[in-house]
Amino acid sequence: MVEMDSLDLPARLAGIRARRRFLWSVFATYIPVIWFALKIGGDALAMVVGILWLLMSAAGGILVSFAICPRCGNRFHMKGISTSWGSRCVHCKLSLSEGK
């Protein structure tokens, strides 16, 4: 287990929270953006926007899943091949709200 610098803890937790906000904002805006693309550009634009949103969702999921815990140095949300997008590290139980 690797101990990280405790002064860096709030900044690193803020980075994990920012990754999570990005992912959830991508999920939350999908349907309105696709609807808007259909209205202004038709099926072709909606297809392009849908593919871009799919890529952004994949990137966001990877960024969240592979975030490193600032306390223990393990993956914050992953233990083995399973992923838990809870608000605590699955290894050391560090809460995302501790750095606020």
Task: Quote the pLDDT of residue 4.
Answer: 55
Of 91, 58, 56, 60, nearest to 48 by C-alpha is 56
Coil, strand, or helix at residue 68? strand
What residue spans define the domains of the chain? 6-99
Overall pTM > 0.85: no
**Burial class, 75, CB count within 10 angstroms (exposed 0-12 / middle 13-18 / buried 19+):** middle
Q: Enumerate long-range contacts of 2-5, CB under 8 Å, 24 or more apart.
A: 2/72, 2/73, 3/71, 3/72, 3/73, 4/69, 4/70, 4/71, 4/72, 4/73
Task: Quote the pLDDT of residue 23.
Answer: 95
Per-residue pLDDT of the chain (100 residues; tens, 9 = 90+): 455 566 689 999 999 999 999 999 999 999 999 999 999 999 999 999 999 999 999 999 999 999 999 999 999 999 888 777 789 999 999 999 886 6
Of 97, 25, 22, nearest to 64 by C-alpha is 22
Task: Quote the pLDDT of residue 8.
Answer: 87
